Amino acid sequence: MAAKKKLLSFISDENLYSAVKDILDVAQYAAYKNEDYIYRNAIDPFSALFDTALQNITLKEWLGKEASRQIQKTLQNTLGDFHQTILGSLPGWENLERGHVFDIRNTRKMIIAEIKNKYNTTKGNHKTAIYDDLKAQLDGKYKGYVAYYVEVIPQNKKTYNKEFTPPDNRTKTQRPGN
């Protein structure tokens, strides 16, 4: 009998199933939370007022949509972890999980990377902090490595490989290429 073919050539089925299960668990948890969970963060009454008027819906209908929006936001945040897990499972790569300055590394290729799900996941002023953190790693423990800022879903669906030189809003300049 022939051996079972892997689902994807670049990751073990076990790691893939585990990453997908993590997303489904979070999504299921978010979907079945009690009704009071929607109020965990202050609801903006002005947003609710304008949304209900613009959409011609009741406040009760708006609350249902807001609950769906919050579940979607939770899912989007979890997808960032999913991408990090998948990329960190590739041969030679290591997922560093939460609490590290960057997300994944490959010691053989001497690469470190910060992974973001989508191009608009990080605000501009936070990109300078990411740049500074990665540069500090390259100047320190990871001297000789290359650092990447990775957007899994780039703007306009256009792939790119260019220097990460985010704008600094305080100085009105770009961070220098490195």
The CA distance from 118 to 157, in Å, is: 10
The CA distance from 174 to 128, in Å, is: 9
In one-letter notation, the amino acid at residue 33 is K
- Pairing verdict, β 173-174 and 167-168: antiparallel
- Pairing verdict, β 173-174 and 104-106: unpaired
pTM of the model: 0.79
- Return the minimum-mean-pLDDT range out of 35-39, 65-69, 98-102, 137-141: 35-39
Task: Tell the residue number behind the tokens 């790119």, with chain if given.
Answer: 160
Report yes or no: 16 and 7 within 8 Å, Cβ to Cβ. Answer: yes
Structure token pair of residue 37: 């969970």
Report yes or no: 131 and 163 within 8 Å, Cβ to Cβ. Answer: no
Phi, psi (deg, nearest 5) at residue 5 = -75, 140
Residue % of the chain over a pLDDT of 90: 37
> What integer pLDDT is reported at residue 132 of this predicted model?
94
Structure token pair of residue 136: 């500090």
**Among 86, 151, 89, which residue's Cα sits nearest to residue 115?**
151
Q: Where are the beta strands (DSSP E) in the chain?
A: 94-95, 104-106, 111-118, 146-153, 167-168, 173-174
What's the average model confidence in pLDDT over 129-144?
95
Report yes or no: 144 and 109 within 8 Å, Cβ to Cβ. Answer: no
Phi, psi (deg, nearest 5) at residue 116 = -125, 145
> What integer pLDDT is reported at residue 156 of this predicted model?
86
In one-letter notation, the amino acid at residue 96 is L
In one-letter notation, the amino acid at residue 87 is L
Q: If you average pLDDT over every residue of the chain, what do you get?
A: 87
pLDDT tens digits, 12-56: 898 899 999 998 888 888 777 655 666 666 788 898 999 999 999
